[in-house]
Structure 1
Amino acid sequence: MSLEVPISVRTLVEYVFNTGSIDARFRSQTSLLDGTRIHQKIQKTYQENDQKEVYLRAEIPYENLIYKIDGRCDGLLFRDGNVMIDEIKSTSQPFDYLEPEGYPVHWAQAKMYAYMYLVDNELKEMDVQLTYVQVETEEKRYLKKTFSLSELELFVFDVMKGYAPYAIVQAEHRIKRNQTSKELAFPFQQYREGQRRLAGGVYKTITEQKNLFVKAPTGIGKTMSTLFPAVKAVGEGELNRIFYLTAKTITRTTAEEAFDRMSKCGLSMKSLTITARDKVCFKDETICQKEHCEFADGYYDRINGAVLDILTNEQAMTRDVIETYARKHTVCPFEFSIDLAYVADAVICDYNYIFDPRVSLKRLFEEQKKSTALLVDEAHNLVDRGREMFSASLNKELFLQLKKDFKGANKEIYDRASKLNSWFIALKKAKEESNEFTLEKLDDEFIELLIQFKEDAEPVLQLASTPNLLEAYFMVNTFLKMVELFDDHYVIYGEKMRNELTIKLFCIDPSKLLKQMGKGYRSKIFFSATLAPLPYYQDILGGEEDDYCLSIPSPFSAEQTDVFIKPLSTRFRDRDRTKDAIVSMIQAMIKNRPGNFLIFFPSYQYLLTVYEPFIQENPDIQTIVQATGMTEEERESFLESFKSGQKETLLGFAVLGGIFSEGVDLIGDRLNGVVVVGVGLPQLCFERNLIKDHFTKQDKNGYDYAYVYPGMNKVLQAGGRLIRSENDHGTIVLIDDRFLQQQYQSLLPQEWRQYTVL
């Protein structure tokens, strides 16, 4: 039986012919963006009968493999009765730095297209042209060769041979993956209440190529309820790849554990976890150049062996596993994981690898997206993360510093920085009356100055990487990208602080851009225990009217939780007045209900305001406090303090919306109660008020969008730490008089509504 190998021309030749080192030295961002523009410009010079973006495909047998190869060649040119393949390559490097005869990987791509065209059209020979274009000067270099069918047949045979070991491993794995996915039974003895409904909803959504917004309660087993049906869809041929997207490391671990459990039940699936570059870098300083790093030097000469080795021997490619193989093959662990992302069956990673235009996995082709599902965990976090991804800011200090750095050193940079600094000074004077203001638009002079600064900085950075200039360059480049995206989903505002002035392009409503970045994927599943109210999240995360929505009730009974509301004011102006009452309430609680408690405050400062008098009055009570900037080891130590079977009371003081208020599982009597101080509203500020005003103008409840929904989400997340299984019992205390108001009551889970007022 022959094994089928579907593959694009580019993927095939890059695997066989890529060589060299990783080099993260400065590269002109303009040139990267201009690649498409250059292609289009060259194609516009084609003659009337020439063709562009010509789709070619071929089925080529090799031993027990059948390669199904396809791709689009840039141009098919007809000259003097002959046909010629044209492959366009743009470069930021001066032509003096290029190989005079062109690069083997570029010739390989063009020759593959030529072979496919020759066979299709029963021709005996063909011209092949590489067109190199220098993006800044638009200088062109043409390299042309003629190849016979027999020459190209030998070449293609060698390419097939070079790819075959990898192709066999992948093809055999795919058969086993599909079979085991199809046969896999739910990896627990039975479904929890509501779990089957969620799994069924996810499977239906994937098979119907729709999107789904799910509010599913804490403790239901959301990770398995979404991954299992996605895996089954792979077995049924509906999917080829799954992305499990998270905001936090701890939820990635849960996804890894789910794959491990399914693997022990017979599933054969390659799962990969991507960890941030700075966390996995083996060097003390992250400088991705061959002179500084042996893992970057010759990376592309060794990466195929590393990929083949790990795919042959491992199912779960976690951080530890990747680091082991990266050391074995002397390859950069981060780049290794990115290369694996294009071949793994399931990828566990941060949101930004899909949604952030500056970071996303750009080599995912549209055809691959059509067979890929996105599972977006803790999707409530994507709202502010989306705003962050699509916003950009610049400040006066940046250019003032460059003016000082380059005085007498480089006239162009000095002049540009001076003019930009002067622009900020002029704006500051014009807005003398207010520290915060909005602008209808950015004037053309400012945009032109930024473009000129970027252009002047590029040749300087190509010669030497100056930290301040490099930082300014990337900030300006990001800002200009966001200028291109600017529309009525944005607002421009300025903020003054003493001598500093910052201008921000703020993406108030990320829905349009999240939808755009998620376009092309077969299905998107947005899920969270606190995705409420669902219409709000469907609106702000880029949903459409025909998307599916699902709200699953808690499988846990109201009797498992004793809920109390203490109607004190926690508003900023009243905090000093009510802090003693909060201390007294905590004392009474632990006297009547000793155990392990987490107490959440809306800010670190507020936490200390209550903690300090409490510890003075209760020096014998064991307490731990969340600190700012905790390391992973310190976080783990904090959580490990909550032990099962402890006889003495332990109080953990933490910040609402912080690292301990979501994604934390303290099962059984490791946690006996949660106290939430305040309704979690973000601090009143200019930016939040801009959000409020924006949505109010759209006839939506702007105050809810800006303050109430984000705040109550934090409250629900914090309270959700308590009941994690059918056997858990505990106490929730909500301290704030607003919890008795209808606006906030309506957002409380059903099982919290049988409360007692203290």
Structure 2
Amino acid sequence: MDDGKNKIKISVRSLVEFIFRHGDLDSRLTSNVRALQGTKIHQKLQKQYNDEKLKNEEFKYNQEVVLKYEIDYREFKFLIEGRADGIIEKDGYTTVDEIKTVTKPVDKIDENYNIIHMAQVKLYAYIYAKKNDLDSIYVQLTYYNIDDGKIKFIKKKFYLKELSDFFMNVLDTYYKWAKFKMDWESTRNSSIEKLDFPFIKYRQGQRELAVAVYGTIRDGKRLFVQAPTGIGKTISTVFPAIKTIPMKMISKIFYLTAKTVTGIAAEDTVHRMMKNGLRLKTLTLTAKEKICFNEDINCNPEQCEFARGHYDRVNEAIFYTINNEDLIDREKVIYYSRKFNVCPFEFSLDLSLFCDFIICDYNYAFDPKVYLRRFFEDSKEAYLFLIDEAHNLVDRAREMFSAEIYKKSFLNVKKIVKKDDKIKKNINKINTYMLKLKKDSNEKTYIQKDKFSDLNFMFMNLLNQLEKWILENRENAGYEEVLELYFNLNSFIRISEIYNSDFVTYVENIKDDLKVKMMCIDPGTLLNDGMKRAASAVLFSATLSPIKYFKDILGGREDDYNLTLSSPFQVKNRVLLIANDVSTVYKYRKSSYAPIAEYVNAVISQKKGNYMVFFPSYEYMEKVYELFIENYKNVKTVIQNSNMDDTERKKFLLDFEKNNDESFVAFAVLGGIFSEGIDLKEDRLIGTIIVGVGLPKICIERNIIMDHFNSKNGCGYEYSYIYPGMNKILQASGRVIRTENDRGVILLIDRRFLTSDYKRLFPKEWYPNKIVSSKQDVQKILCEFWKEEQN
């Protein structure tokens, strides 16, 4: 029977780590290998206890004991749970045992070594003693040194009254956080229930999309949506998602993006609803390298003032921020980080625990190296993933599920760790193994389906040795290079743990070096596993076609929902031309430079304004650009640079002025930063010219993908080259028509667009289209098109 109390469920570990954390932030050593070793050591010590149990009838031992305790505290009902490593019964006494692995010599460890460890085992002891009517109980911290195998037991007796007082003090400390959460949820839910759609009416397709998103969340399903430009995908997915929060269908929304610009669009959408009365704690997570206050990222107390004492200040910073801000963007994170002198990245991760809507990169949900374990490890919460521009997740997933390492990095580290014979010996073994791989590859690429287990075993041994060296040689020259190898090894080993039949390992000779890479070819299975971290997921894009391909490679299931929406724009507002007299295949490219330049000029000659020309490569673009500016000196132009920073990108886009009374042409690269995600509305862009069919460059990895899918479904070339290329074309063409009043021209230059392989991939809104064979054809058609605008 519901007693009306607010329920708070929290693990013992989460509770003590939050309440008792203190001191410095030090992220130098975060190894999954240590976690693996910790598990093995737990199993080893537990086996020893079980062996003793078999020998001694009076010795009783239970391992991995689940403990749960429910208590009414003020207006709350707390359910606190955890899992004790072991419960020992011997000589009439009960002991709760907690095993911890360390690298510090055990003779330097006492009961004050880590107050979180002691707090954790005391809470376990209290719950066990309370449940079993014990007046007193022992706690034991078992510290095991992973380097030398030495063990230290710290054992202490507590009376139930002592543990009860300690337990209630913990609840007293946590109360203000629980009270905030309860009060906030009431305020938030009330505002959501009153919230109306923030526009006067739905655009064509918006209501259909919103209803589909709501139904997907209600049913606990996944939805794949192709929604052409202009429908308003962001508001149509975010609004219905937010409306389900008070109904307890979901507890938190993760808006996942590939690029900063799409995250800003989500921020703007939430902000618009906030103007209409919405209260929603919204946070944008920014990558560490983009938000760190230091020129070099060194998350340790010796080199960063914000890491020094970070945990002494961070809880105060969190409480102040969540009580004063609803929309916490990058600038707000930076402001409060400086105010409280805490690490902005770690601070933002902690803030996320108290936020309802989190805007972040795909990595935070899927990457096995960095995904948010605080949410997704053993959680029973109902989360929602809104995956924006989902077509980008294909290559991003391959990247996050792959790992590579270079032979030369080991030899460089060997020179740095001159006095450590163990490390040098291990590096020599690795070098010998990699030399054999080099020989086996016969100076070519060597591919195999299995991971190199022997090499991974050597990597794990080296990782342990490097960890000890790193802790003892922080002032040593070359320290950063050793640290880099440490993290690369850590990533490599982590990927080896998820290696399956959708991977290959390949060895490639690169000049005087050797690369070993575990490559994920088909990320579908791993993405499916990642999406299980959420109760529901909505994957949406303007270019999620063909849907079967994307469902296959993005982890779709047979019972997932699909939705394909029509473009809301009138066909008469755009003209699509296909030039059939130019081939852009590599061997004909040189002869295509002049015709392409003429076509560009033919397009811009019919109406003054802003245009973009997209090319499959920088080299191709530069050749045509040089010819164009030589032949058409009076036309204002700009060209994309391969290493543009944020300031240069913004400047590039500022040149697209409204009501431009002269012709302006921007040359850019397909699949780059300007071919998707930018929003040049109204007459800021009136034409796009696309050169080539967007095929990815032929390379080892693309051919590996092709071979894999040829074996799997006979669609290797399509999956590896045609579909990814066509997706770039569709994205680039979508830059032209952004609002219902926009008018513009799209010119596709490549005769391959008229073959069946490509025509079957044309979206409905690409019909009708017109074939052109000369600049005169273009000029004639566009003259009529722009005349219609005047009428």
Q: Which TM-score bucket, shorter chain as reference?
A: over 0.9
The change in CA–CA distance for 1:373 and 1:593 in structure 2 (over 3 A counts) is same
Displacement of 1:522 after TM fit?
Answer: 0.6
Displacement of 1:443 after TM fit?
Answer: 5.5
Contact 1:202/1:226 (<8 A) preserved: yes
What is the CA–CA distance in structure 1 between the aligned matches of 2:457 and 2:71, rounded to whole Å?
Answer: 52
The change in CA–CA distance for 1:363 and 1:43 in structure 2 (over 3 A counts) is farther
What is the CA–CA distance in structure 2 between the aligned matches of 1:214 and 1:608, rounded to whole Å?
Answer: 36
The change in CA–CA distance for 1:209 and 1:136 in structure 2 (over 3 A counts) is farther
Q: Which residue of 1 aligns with 2:141?
A: 130
Pick the aligned partner of 2:439 from 429, 443, 458.
429
Q: Which residue of 1 aligns with 2:204?
A: 193
Pick the aligned partner of 1:291 from 281, 298, 302.
302
1:168-187 alignment to 2 at 5 Å? 168-187=179-198
Displacement of 1:687 after TM fit?
Answer: 1.4
Q: Which residue of 1 aligns with 2:692?
A: 678
Pick the aligned partner of 1:702 from 716, 730, 753.
716
What is the CA–CA distance in structure 2 between the aligned matches of 1:169 and 1:524, rounded to whole Å?
Answer: 28
Displacement of 1:359 after TM fit?
Answer: 0.8
Q: Which residue of 2 aligns with 1:507?
A: 520
What is the CA–CA distance in structure 2 between the aligned matches of 1:472 and 1:164, rounded to whole Å?
Answer: 44
Pick the aligned partner of 1:450 from 440, 450, 459.
459
Instruction: State the AA in 1 paired with 2:465.
Output: D
The change in CA–CA distance for 1:266 and 1:326 in structure 2 (over 3 A counts) is same
Pick the aligned partner of 1:467 from 440, 461, 480.
480
3-state DSSP of counterpart to 1:651 = strand
What is the CA–CA distance in structure 2 between the aligned matches of 1:94 and 1:648, rounded to whole Å?
Answer: 74
Q: Which residue of 2 aligns with 1:692?
A: 706
Displacement of 1:29 after TM fit?
Answer: 4.8
* Percent identity for Structure 1 against Structure 2: 43
What is the CA–CA distance in structure 2 between the aligned matches of 1:670 and 1:315, rounded to whole Å?
Answer: 33
What is the CA–CA distance in structure 2 between the aligned matches of 1:204 and 1:31, rounded to whole Å?
Answer: 43
What is the CA–CA distance in structure 1 between the aligned matches of 2:30 and 2:533, rounded to whole Å?
Answer: 29
Contact 1:599/1:674 (<8 A) preserved: yes
3-state DSSP of counterpart to 2:266 = helix
What is the CA–CA distance in structure 1 between the aligned matches of 2:579 and 2:364, rounded to whole Å?
Answer: 43
Contact 1:213/1:550 (<8 A) preserved: yes
Report how many residues are paired: 756
Displacement of 1:27 after TM fit?
Answer: 5.5
Q: Give unmatched runs, 5+ long, in structure 1.
A: none
1:354-433 alignment to 2 at 5 Å? 354-364=365-375, 368-406=379-417, 409-432=419-442
What is the CA–CA distance in structure 2 between the aligned matches of 1:239 and 1:376, rounded to whole Å?
Answer: 16
The change in CA–CA distance for 1:237 and 1:438 in structure 2 (over 3 A counts) is same
1:355-754 alignment to 2 at 5 Å? 355-364=366-375, 368-406=379-417, 409-432=419-442, 435-441=444-450, 445-465=454-474, 466-567=479-580, 568-754=582-768
The change in CA–CA distance for 1:449 and 1:70 in structure 2 (over 3 A counts) is closer
Displacement of 1:591 after TM fit?
Answer: 0.9
The change in CA–CA distance for 1:310 and 1:684 in structure 2 (over 3 A counts) is same
What is the CA–CA distance in structure 1 between the aligned matches of 2:452 and 2:305, rounded to whole Å?
Answer: 47
What is the CA–CA distance in structure 1 between the aligned matches of 2:603 and 2:492, rounded to whole Å?
Answer: 51
Displacement of 1:59 after TM fit?
Answer: 3.4
Q: TM-score, normalised by structure 2?
A: 0.91
Q: Which residue of 2 aligns with 1:246?
A: 257
What is the CA–CA distance in structure 1 between the aligned matches of 2:412 and 2:14, rounded to whole Å?
Answer: 44
What is the CA–CA distance in structure 1 between the aligned matches of 2:139 and 2:457, rounded to whole Å?
Answer: 41
Displacement of 1:363 after TM fit?
Answer: 1.9
Displacement of 1:2 after TM fit?
Answer: 5.4
Displacement of 1:650 after TM fit?
Answer: 1.1
Matched, 1:25 2:28: yes
3-state DSSP of counterpart to 2:231 = coil
Displacement of 1:431 after TM fit?
Answer: 3.3
More off after superposition, 485-494 vs 164-173: 485-494
Matched, 1:40 2:49: no
The change in CA–CA distance for 1:508 and 1:268 in structure 2 (over 3 A counts) is same
Runs of 4 or more above 6 Å deviation: none
Instruction: State the AA in 1 paired with 2:88.
Output: L
1:30-429 alignment to 2 at 5 Å? 30-44=33-47, 45-46=49-50, 47=53, 50-364=61-375, 368-406=379-417, 409-429=419-439
Contact 1:403/1:414 (<8 A) preserved: yes
3-state DSSP of counterpart to 2:244 = helix
The change in CA–CA distance for 1:630 and 1:156 in structure 2 (over 3 A counts) is same
What is the CA–CA distance in structure 2 between the aligned matches of 1:650 and 1:420, rounded to whole Å?
Answer: 56
Instruction: State the AA in 2 paired with 1:17.
Output: F
Matched, 1:13 2:16: yes
The change in CA–CA distance for 1:16 and 1:395 in structure 2 (over 3 A counts) is closer
Contact 2:32/2:494 (<8 A) preserved: no
More off after superposition, 597-606 vs 260-269: 260-269
Displacement of 1:392 after TM fit?
Answer: 1.5
Contact 1:281/1:332 (<8 A) preserved: yes
What is the CA–CA distance in structure 2 between the aligned matches of 1:727 and 1:42, rounded to whole Å?
Answer: 71
Displacement of 1:723 after TM fit?
Answer: 1.2
3-state DSSP of counterpart to 1:212 = strand
The change in CA–CA distance for 1:445 and 1:6 in structure 2 (over 3 A counts) is closer
Contact 1:369/1:522 (<8 A) preserved: no
Instruction: State the AA in 2 paired with 1:271.
Output: T
Contact 2:440/2:446 (<8 A) preserved: no
The one-character-per-residue Cα deviations of 1:108-149 (angstroms, maximum 9, x if unpaired) are 222223333333344433332222222334433222223223
What is the CA–CA distance in structure 2 between the aligned matches of 1:118 and 1:180, rounded to whole Å?
Answer: 44
Q: TM-score, normalised by structure 1?
A: 0.95
Displacement of 1:365 after TM fit?
Answer: 5.1
Displacement of 1:399 after TM fit?
Answer: 2.9
Displacement of 1:403 after TM fit?
Answer: 4.3
3-state DSSP of counterpart to 2:373 = coil
The change in CA–CA distance for 1:284 and 1:455 in structure 2 (over 3 A counts) is closer
Contact 1:31/1:136 (<8 A) preserved: no
Contact 1:102/1:143 (<8 A) preserved: no
The one-character-per-residue Cα deviations of 1:541-562 (angstroms, maximum 9, x if unpaired) are 1111111111111111212211
Contact 1:3/1:172 (<8 A) preserved: no
Instruction: State the AA in 2 paired with 1:707.
Output: Y
